[in-house]
DNA sequence: TCCCATTTGTTCGACTTTGAACGTTTCAGT
DNA sequence: ACTGAAACGTTCAAAGTCGAACAAATGGGA
């Protein structure tokens, strides 16, 4: 009867809300507050703070104690047993593509958000730091978001500057499929990312077990993922003691059809020179085009050339179907939301989490040879 | 661990709820408490603690015993109906020490397990792969465990062999404060570990901001943590462009008192030679001894030599109190249990998670110089 | 502009928490 | 079993917190 006020749309004095936010901040920072201190700090009467605390306690956000409040504690038996807080946060999400890869990440995030009673607002951006920033700013300005999940472009100086800016935002930020470089002290940024190096290594080991002894790597340098794939490929090659002269490495930028055919011919020629019989192709879109090209030229897949794609977006569409490393995209979104929810609930006391997820290797026809072996990477 | 020093004028007493949480922590860490100890530790009367214990016992959270309390045991028949403690899963936990560092990890794990309705069985082990394996085997044989959390010794060939063995176990395994090396394909092992390199870097940047330009590192090579601390120190030194001739690096194994004094004298001499005015000392136990040594020799801390310890177990006890990097120990335990619970619930579809947590830098007297600067790492 | 709903402040008796004193209970060692 | 020491809990008092009732201030809409 008395709680649950300001519903009618009457005087929505922002000040009360601000006070409560501040109170929650203080609480998250120190774990507990006294009514007296907060009242003194804000220059309002203690009764006002008590009323704030009670209102927050009714919402299940804090535990009322004699003299103040603490973060909600399991020992607090006062609250309604059934329903933990009916409070909801809004999370902004900025991703670099709404066509490729990211829809599944968003879908995972949405699914998790629904369960956690959170709202998610997604914006697409370009693969470009300044546009990332513009989109984030738009969310901050127009929506009232409590947290941000973002997959920024981190290349070069603008990328670093963007990271610094994100790190300094007043709301928690979680990076998706990005990691903070160790030389920039972005100590507040949390992240979830697929361990692409592990995925590439898994592919290499699979091809090794299929009998290949010269395994190449063809990547798309326009993608932020590419360096990790290359690193994983190199590490695995080194661990398997494959000499450098049996290592073919090629790069492709975005090409249109004519150039692409030419480029693929070059790749095949260099494979022949180095004796390469298997390729890890980053971005399975490209893998599909490459397999197509091979088939057109009469090169048998996997007989003459085994292929493993990276991303598993469209790999199953090719003929023959392409084996691919499949990042746990939905889980990336899901875990990002979990991180954000936990951060919003626990505040600063919670240590910064940085999470890697391992991808999975999906075996299809393009890499499984005559004598099929068990697929233990 | 927490505050025993007053910040400003007013008295700093804990709220009843906080006291009870602390009491439960202590209980989870050690299995039992005495009223007297807790009262002394918190500086309140024994009667107050007794009242707390009774209240918790009424809630069915602890078992009263003469002189203190224990975790609620099945033997305790005192009332409390309607609480069927049907555990879902049993988790084994093997840690290398029950004195240092690990009690807090266990406490965090127990706390989380309680909420998730899991049972945890802890075994102490030696810092030694073969004993690790023996303890795990004992758990597998005698208890019927569904999952395993373990902090194995990973050094050398026996360590790798142990990892392979763990990876092949039929139950899920989560490593605590350990990571899988990238060259061994332990693809099923999940882990939670503190990012000690980050912690060391944070300490170095703090000392740099305090005006130090030659920052040394003294580590205890017997600890598995040590390499990460050294790596973080090196990276930070490189990032700050501190030339190698201003870098002192020393190692200490376990020494008894006579040798230790000699060793510390050597360290101080080499610091003088290299112009080192600040040291990061791994294992704060050692830092305490070192500060003691400095004080005995008339070397001012932080005036002549600034010190930051690593681990924050006993750093606050020294005179002057030692600044220290504090790993989020209870969260390590907590997150390990979360990982395990999610794995047991979701099965193989869930991708392998590998989580790093960032430590925190606690500033005390031993590193904060004349002109105090803001502590932005 | 005024009006009315909402929010904030003041006062003061009721209530909580804590600790000292002191009699009772429990436990371990004769 | 007996006994002394420690632990326990009842009672009471001091200190401080809580919130009902009412008064004052605030601010958005007619």
> Which pLDDT value is given to residue A255?
63
Tell me the pLDDT band of A246, cut-offs 50, 70 and 90.
low
pLDDT at A101 over 70: yes
Give CATH 1.10.10.10 domain extents, chain A: 14-71
Residues whose beta carbon sits under 7 Å from strand C: A 5-6, 8, 10-13, 15-16, 19, 43-45, 47-48, 51, 66; B 15-16, 19, 44-45, 47-48, 51, 66
The 10s digit of each residue's pLDDT in A22-69 is 888 888 778 889 998 888 888 888 888 898 888 888 877 888 889 889
Name chain B contacts of A350, Cβ cutoff 8 Å: 331
- Residue environment code for B277-305, b if the CB has 16+ CB neighbours within 10 A, otherwise e: bbbbbbbbbbbbbbbebbeeeeeebbeeb
Specify which of A254-263, B248-257, B351-360 reaches the highest per-range mean pLDDT: B351-360
Is B377–A185 a contact, with Cβ atoms under 8 angstroms apart?
yes
Closest residue, by C-alpha, to the C1' of C6:
A11
> Which pLDDT value is given to residue A325?
95
User: Which of the nucleotides in strand D have any atom less than 7 Å away from a protein CB atom?
Assistant: 6-11, 16-21, 26-29
% residues pLDDT > 90 (chain A):
37
A5 CA – C4 C1', rounded, Å:
17
Q: Which two tokens stand for residue A289?
A: 């085009």
Name chain B contacts of A68, Cβ cutoff 8 Å: 15
Burial (CB count within 10 angstroms: exposed 0-12, middle 13-18, buried 19+), residue A250: middle
- Does residue B215 reach within 7 angstroms of strand D, measured from its CB? no
The 10s digit of each residue's pLDDT in A122-134 is 999 988 899 999 9
| Strand-by-strand arrangement of the B360-362 sheet | B249-252, B215-220, B278-282, B306-310, B323-326, B360-362
Is A328–B335 a contact, with Cβ atoms under 8 angstroms apart?
no
- Tell me how many residue pairs between chain A and chain B have CB atoms under 8 A apart: 95
Is B356–A354 a contact, with Cβ atoms under 8 angstroms apart?
yes
- The stretch B30-46 carries a mean pLDDT of 88
Is A75–B351 a contact, with Cβ atoms under 8 angstroms apart?
no
Tell me the pLDDT band of A83, cut-offs 50, 70 and 90.
low
A54 CA – C12 C1', rounded, Å:
21
- The stretch A353-371 carries a mean pLDDT of 86
Least confident of A285-289, A369-373, B230-234, B268-272: A369-373
pLDDT at A81 over 80: no
User: Which of the nucleotides in strand C have any atom less than 7 Å away from a protein CB atom?
Assistant: 5-11, 16-21, 26-27
> Which pLDDT value is given to residue A41?
83
> Which pLDDT value is given to residue A78?
62
- How far apart CA A170 and CA A147 sit, in angstroms, is 9
Give CATH 1.10.10.10 domain extents, chain B: 16-71
Fold (topology level) of A196-327+361-367? Rossmann fold (3.40.50)
CB A247 within 8 A of CB A214: yes
% residues pLDDT > 70 (chain B):
89
Tell me the pLDDT band of B148, cut-offs 50, 70 and 90.
very high
Q: What is the CB neighbour count within 10 angstroms for residue A297?
A: 12
Name chain B contacts of A208, Cβ cutoff 8 Å: none
Residue entry with tokens 């990691």: A179
Tell me the pLDDT band of B361, cut-offs 50, 70 and 90.
very high
Specify which of A37-41, A268-272, B336-340, B363-367 reaches the highest per-range mean pLDDT: B336-340
pLDDT at B131 over 80: yes
Q: Which CATH number fits domain B89-194+328-356: 3.40.50.2300, 3.40.50.880, 2.40.40.20, 2.30.30.230?
A: 3.40.50.2300
- How far apart CA B125 and CA B121 sit, in angstroms, is 13
- The stretch B305-315 carries a mean pLDDT of 92
- The stretch B39-43 carries a mean pLDDT of 88
Is B15–A355 a contact, with Cβ atoms under 8 angstroms apart?
no
Give CATH 3.40.50.2300 domain extents, chain B: 89-194+328-356, 196-327+361-367
B44 CA – D20 C1', rounded, Å:
33
A28 CA – C15 C1', rounded, Å:
29
The beta-carbon neighbor of A235 closest among B182, B235, B331 is B182
- From B189, B193, B191, select the one nearest B162 (Cα to Cα): B189
Distance between B243 CA and the closest CA of chain A, angstroms: 17
- How far apart CA A325 and CA A232 sit, in angstroms, is 12
- The stretch A291-306 carries a mean pLDDT of 85
pLDDT at B146 over 90: yes
Nucleotide showing the shortest C1' distance to residue A17 CA: C7
Closest residue of chain A to B115, computed from CA coordinates: A74
pLDDT at B208 over 70: yes
Q: What rounded mean pLDDT belongs to chain B?
A: 85
> Which pLDDT value is given to residue B11?
35
Tell me the pLDDT band of B253, cut-offs 50, 70 and 90.
low
The beta-carbon neighbor of A357 closest among B17, B21, B351 is B351
A348 CA – D21 C1', rounded, Å:
40
Distance between A71 CA and the closest CA of chain B, angstroms: 10
Phi, psi of A245, rounded to the nearest 5 degrees: -70, -15
Least confident of A238-247, B17-26, B119-128, B302-311: A238-247
**Best residue of B10, B16, B21 to probe chain A, by most A CBs closer than 10 Å:** B21
- How far apart CA B120 and CA B109 sit, in angstroms, is 8
Region of B169 (left: φ > 0; alpha: ψ -120 to 50; beta: rest) is beta
- How far apart CA B50 and CA B35 sit, in angstroms, is 7
Tell me the pLDDT band of A12, cut-offs 50, 70 and 90.
very low
Closest residue of chain A to B335, computed from CA coordinates: A353
CB A89 within 8 A of CB A146: yes
Q: Cα(first)–Cα(last) distance of chain B, in Å?
A: 22
Higher model confidence: residue B256 or residue B177? B177
- How far apart CA B365 and CA A80 sit, in angstroms, is 45
Higher model confidence: residue A276 or residue B87? A276
Tell me the pLDDT band of B306, cut-offs 50, 70 and 90.
very high
Name chain B contacts of A75, Cβ cutoff 8 Å: 17, 20-21, 24, 56, 59, 61
Specify which of A18-32, A63-77, B321-335 reaches the highest per-range mean pLDDT: B321-335
> Which pLDDT value is given to residue A274?
84
Strand D interface, B 32-61, C-beta < 7 A: 34-36, 46-47, 50, 54
Distance between B331 CA and the closest CA of chain A, angstroms: 8
Nucleotide showing the shortest C1' distance to residue A45 CA: C9
> Which pLDDT value is given to residue B241?
87
Distance between A65 CA and the closest CA of chain B, angstroms: 7
A291 CA – D9 C1', rounded, Å:
84
Fold (topology level) of B16-71? Arc Repressor Mutant, subunit A (1.10.10)
A38 CA – D8 C1', rounded, Å:
38
CB A278 within 8 A of CB A214: yes
Tell me the pLDDT band of B9, cut-offs 50, 70 and 90.
very low
Strand D interface, A 42-101, C-beta < 7 A: 46-47, 50, 54, 65-68
Give CATH 3.40.50.2300 domain extents, chain A: 90-194+330-357, 196-327+361-367
Find the DSSP H helices in chain A.
14-30, 35-42, 46-58, 102-116, 129-142, 156-167, 196-209, 226-239, 257-274, 284-296, 329-346
> Which pLDDT value is given to residue B7?
30
Q: Are strands B32-34 and B68-71 parallel, antiparallel or unpaired?
A: antiparallel
- The stretch B179-194 carries a mean pLDDT of 89
Domain A90-194+330-357: CATH superfamily, name plus number:
Response regulator (3.40.50.2300)
Tell me the pLDDT band of B135, cut-offs 50, 70 and 90.
very high
> Which pLDDT value is given to residue A6?
33
Higher model confidence: residue A199 or residue B242? A199
Is A32–B21 a contact, with Cβ atoms under 8 angstroms apart?
no
Tell me the pLDDT band of B263, cut-offs 50, 70 and 90.
confident
**Could you give the dihedral angle defined by the CA atoms of residues B287, B293, B295 and B296, in that order, rounded to the nearest 10 degrees?**
160
Distance between A156 CA and the closest CA of chain B, angstroms: 17
Higher model confidence: residue B369 or residue A362? A362
**Best residue of A33, A65, A75 to probe chain B, by most B CBs closer than 10 Å:** A75
Distance between B351 CA and the closest CA of chain A, angstroms: 6
The beta-carbon neighbor of A353 closest among B17, B201, B357 is B357
Q: Which CATH number fits domain A14-71: 3.90.940.20, 3.30.70.260, 1.10.10.10, 3.30.450.20?
A: 1.10.10.10
> Which pLDDT value is given to residue B254?
64
CB B110 within 8 A of CB B333: yes
pLDDT at A337 over 60: yes
A190 CA – D8 C1', rounded, Å:
50
Residue entry with tokens 């609620």: B72
Tell me the pLDDT band of B2, cut-offs 50, 70 and 90.
very low
DSSP A31: S
> Which pLDDT value is given to residue A142?
73
- C-alpha angle B318-B321-B327 in degrees, rounded to nearest 5: 95
């Amino acid at each position: 009867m008395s709680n649950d006020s300001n519903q009618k749309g009457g005087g929505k004095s922002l000040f009360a809300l601000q006070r409560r936010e501040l109170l929650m901040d203080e609480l998250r920072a120190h774990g507990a507050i006294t009514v007296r201190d907060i009242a003194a700090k804000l220059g309002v009467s203690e009764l006002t703070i008590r009323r704030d605390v009670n209102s927050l306690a009714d919402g299940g956000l804090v535990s009322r104690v004699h003299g103040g409040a603490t973060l909600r504690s399991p020992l607090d038996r006062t609250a309604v047993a059934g329903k933990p807080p009916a409070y909801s946060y809004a999370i902004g999400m900025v991703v670099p593509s709404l066509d490729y890869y990211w829809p599944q990440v968003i879908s995972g995030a949405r699914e998790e958000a629904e369960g956690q009673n959170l709202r998610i607002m997604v914006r697409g951006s370009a693969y470009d730091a300044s546009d990332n920033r513009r989109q984030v700013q738009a969310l901050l300005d127009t929506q009232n978001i409590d947290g941000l999940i973002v997959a920024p472009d981190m290349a070069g100086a603008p990328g670093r500057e963007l990271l610094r800016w994100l790190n300094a935002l007043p709301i928690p930020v979680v990076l998706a499929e990005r990691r903070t470089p160790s030389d920039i002290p972005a100590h507040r940024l949390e992240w979830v990312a697929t361990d692409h190096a592990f995925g590439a290594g898994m592919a290499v080991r699979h091809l090794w077990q299929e009998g290949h002894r010269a395994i190449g790597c063809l990547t798309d340098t326009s993608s932020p993922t590419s360096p990790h794939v290359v690193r994983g490929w190199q590490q695995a090659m080194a661990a398997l003691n494959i000499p450098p002269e049996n290592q073919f490495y090629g790069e492709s930028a975005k090409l249109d059809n004519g150039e692409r055919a030419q480029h693929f011919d070059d790749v095949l020629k260099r494979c022949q020179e180095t004796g390469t019989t298997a390729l890890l192709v980053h971005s399975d879109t490209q893998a599909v085009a490459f397999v197509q090209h091979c088939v057109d030229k009469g090169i048998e897949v996997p007989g003459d050339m085994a292929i493993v794609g990276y991303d598993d977006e469209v790999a199953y569409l090719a003929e023959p179907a392409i084996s691919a490393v499949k990042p746990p995209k939905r889980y990336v979104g899901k875990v990002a939301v979990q991180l954000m929810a936990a951060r919003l609930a626990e505040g600063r006391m919670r240590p910064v989490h940085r999470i890697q997820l391992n991808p999975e290797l999906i075996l299809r026809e393009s890499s499984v040879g005559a004598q099929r072996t068990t697929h233990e990477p």
